[in-house]
Amino acid sequence: MKKTLLLLAAVSLAALGACGKKAEPMASSGPPAAADASGPPAVASAAGDAPTPRTPMLAMAYQLHLALPSDQVRPLMESHQDACERAGPTQCQVLGAQAHTEGKDDERAELDLRATSAWMRAFRGRAEADVRDDGGKVLESGARGEDLAKPIGDTEAGQKTRAEEEARLKALLARRTRHPGDSLEIEKEITAVQNDLDAQASALQDMRDRVAMQTLSIAYESSAQVAPRGANAPVVSAAKAFWGNMMGVFGALIVLASYLLPFAIVGAAGGWLIWRVRRPRRPMPPPAA
């Protein structure tokens, strides 16, 4: 009996020792624990990354103000207009062109263009060179841009949403309904969705055209009409305006005379009639004896 108990105790101790040896490597295994520890920081790093900025989609508009001799204003404007027309509508389009002549030294013109960025870049350099070759100068040169990336993205997202809604409505309409009135209401909703899609498509195309084609507004002006600058500007301006101001005063006097002359004529005629009526008559001479 004692031998049996001692044998069972020895077997139990051996089994416990084997279990301890198997459990110890699992508790001391390094790689899995290290992998778990490295996981959360990677996720946090990814979550902390800044969002990717939206690619800008700029609609650019340029302005030029040119001053040149009076006899070169109209020819230069027509030359620039002709250059745009020769490039073709896919490269350049003339939006407006006009010229004004108010005197010998007062010539003005305006030209509005829309063109691709490559053509516009080359033309702007040519326009500034042309005005210098003609003895003029660039008074002002400016640009402004409007980023249409967000409006275009919002419109595209709206199109997707409305297209999905249209698909759901058409699937609902395809089912057989017992009430014709339900089908009519669904068709009305589909028509409204399609109208919205058409409006969004038109707005989206307009914005994309503005990004693809840049605009340029050019103002041409006679050098003689350019406002002087500097310390002597008031004297120079007064000297240039002297003859015009004097003629303006004479013109105002002529206009005033045209208003007063009819009253003067009527007054003179009335006074003459009153004088004829009220003047004393001479007594008749007595008859001769």
Dist. CA 9–CA 241, nearest whole Å: 128
Q: What is the pLDDT of residue 143?
A: 92
User: How sure is the predictor about 70, in pLDDT bands with cuts at 50, 70 and 90?
Assistant: confident
Higher-confidence residue: 39 or 159?
A: 159
Query: Rounded to an integer, what distance in angstroms lies between the CA atom of residue 144 and that of residue 90?
Result: 23
State whether 70 and 142 are in the same domain. yes
The CA distance from 144 to 58, in Å, is: 9
| Residue 203's pLDDT band (cuts 50, 70, 90) | very high
Residue 82: closest CA among 120, 111, 60, 117: 111
- Residue 33 — pLDDT band, cuts 50, 70, 90? very low
Q: Report how far residue 237's alpha carbon sits from residue 36's, in angstroms, rounded to the nearest whole number.
A: 83
Per-residue pLDDT band at 79 (split at 50, 70, 90): very high
Closest CA relative to residue 123, chosen from 84, 89, 96, 159: 84
Average pLDDT, the chain: 78
In a domain, 20, yes or no: no
Residue 269 lies in a domain: no
Q: How confident is the model at residue 171 (pLDDT cuts 50, 70, 90)?
A: confident
Question: Contact, 217 vs 64, CB < 8 A?
Answer: yes
pLDDT per residue as tens digits for the range 114-160: 999 999 999 999 999 999 998 899 999 999 999 999 999 999 999 99
Q: Which of 193, 225, 257 is the last residue of a domain?
A: 225
Q: Provide the pLDDT for residue 277.
A: 78
Q: Is residue 45 part of a domain?
A: no
If one compares 67 and 7, the residue with the highest pLDDT of the two is 67
Q: Are 118 and 220 members of one domain? A: yes
Whether 62 contacts 217, CB under 8 Å: yes
Which of 199, 225, 251 terminates a domain? The answer is 225
Does the residue 14 lie in any domain?
A: no
218 in the same domain as 82: yes
| 140 and 96 belong to one structural domain | yes
Please check the confidence at residue 44 and state whether its pLDDT lies above 90.
Answer: no
157 within domain boundaries: yes
Find all residues with CB under 8 Å of 149, minimum gap 6, and list them: 54, 55, 56, 57
What value does the mean pLDDT take over residues 68-83? 92
What pLDDT digit, counting tens, does each position of 182-194 carry?
778 888 899 999 9
pLDDT of residue 1: 41
**Range picked from 3-17, 47-61, 138-152 for highest mean pLDDT:** 138-152
Amino acid, single-letter form, for residue 147? D
5-9, 202-206, 211-215: the lowest-pLDDT one: 5-9
* Mean pLDDT value across residues 72-84: 94
The 10s digit of each residue's pLDDT in 244-256 is 778 788 888 899 8
Q: Is residue 206 part of a domain?
A: yes
Sheet holding 92-103, edge to edge: 92-103, 106-116, 213-222, 58-68, 137-147
**Whether residue 81 is found in the same domain as residue 117:** yes
Q: Which of 89, 91, 90, 75 is nearest to 123 (CA)?
A: 91
Q: Do 206 and 63 share a domain, yes or no?
A: no
pLDDT at 39 over 90: no
Averaging pLDDT over each range in 11-25, 79-93, 234-248, which range is the top one? 79-93
Together in a domain, 187 and 218: no
pLDDT in the model for residue 289: 56
Same domain, 77 and 96: yes
Phi-psi region of 230 (alpha: psi -120 to 50; beta: other; left: phi over 0): left
Question: Residue 100 sits in which domain range?
Answer: 58-146+214-225
First to last CA, the chain: 210
Global pTM reads: 0.56
Residue 189 burial (C-beta neighbours within 10 Å; 0-12, 13-18, 19+): middle
69 three-class SS = coil
User: 107 - beta bridge partners?
Assistant: 101
Residue 11 within any structural domain of the chain: no
Could you tell me if residue 44 is inside a domain? no
Tell me how many domains the chain contains: 2
Compare 226 and 34 and report the one with higher pLDDT.
226
- What does R_g of the chain's alpha carbons equal in angstroms? 46
Rounded distance between C-alpha atoms, residue 154 and residue 221, angstroms: 43
Whether residue 123 is found in the same domain as residue 168: no
Q: Which one of 225, 260, 281 terminates a domain?
A: 225
